[in-house]
Structure 1
Amino acid sequence: MGFLSTVILDFFVALGIVLGGSIFGAMGAFLTHRPPMTEMVDMADKLKIWALVAALGGTMDALKVLETGVLGGQFGAPIKQLCYIVAAFLGCNVGYFLIKWMVGEIK
């Protein structure tokens, strides 16, 4: 898989985890008589870090590539890993702000 396709995939995996988890969590909140909109925003906030980790496929591999690349003097692989991390981070935050917009906290 190429660099750009991996960046796009990481973005959308993180976005999907935040959106899907929050929406299904709101259904669970509704079934347990808790406020679904409030729970949806809280869940989106809590899911951001897990979406980032899941999109990257585990952070230890990414951190190992960063370490070996920087210490070995090769900067191509660490820059790619940083791009993957940034793409997943952006996906998490876009999902979070979409949930806040859907709930009505952002106009």
Structure 2
Amino acid sequence: MNEFLSKAGLDFFVAFGIVLGGSMIAGVGAVFMLMPPATVILDTAVRLKIWAIVAAIGGSIDPVRVIESNISAGLISPAIQQVCFIIFAFLGAHTATELVKLICKGAVT
């Protein structure tokens, strides 16, 4: 159980960091390119969300393969764990996206 929570927490924070860090660095780039930073930050956060989830769960099709092979073998617990890891990664990416929206709320009209 402890290993599961550690992996789930790590997936959450990896996805969170990818969205938050990527969108903030995009904002810095927007300043250099003379573009509106808040708009670029918001757009980047939304576009990075799915990629943050993919990166957090392993960056490939392997988690989906684990789900399929375990369900085929009749083992539900490992498949449920993989689904939970995906959910935690989604929650991390979504939380970061909402935080970016909150931070940029007054800057974009």
**What is the 5 A alignment of 1:1-40?**
2-40=3-41
Distance across 1 between alignment mates of 2:89 and 2:17? 11
Name the structure 1 match of 2:50: 49
Q: How many residues align?
A: 105
Distance across 2 between alignment mates of 1:97 and 1:58? 23
Name the structure 2 match of 1:67: 68
Q: Which runs of 5+ in 2 are unaligned?
A: none
- Secondary structure of the equivalent of 1:2? helix
Shift of 1:58: 2.0
Distance across 2 between alignment mates of 1:57 and 1:20? 18
Distance across 2 between alignment mates of 1:27 and 1:80? 37
Paired residue type of 1:49: I
Shift of 1:59: 3.6
Paired residue type of 1:82: V
RMSD, aligned α-carbons = 1.1
Paired residue type of 1:2: E
Q: Which runs of 5+ in 1 are unaligned?
A: none
> Percent identity over the alignment?
45
Distance across 2 between alignment mates of 1:58 and 1:18? 15
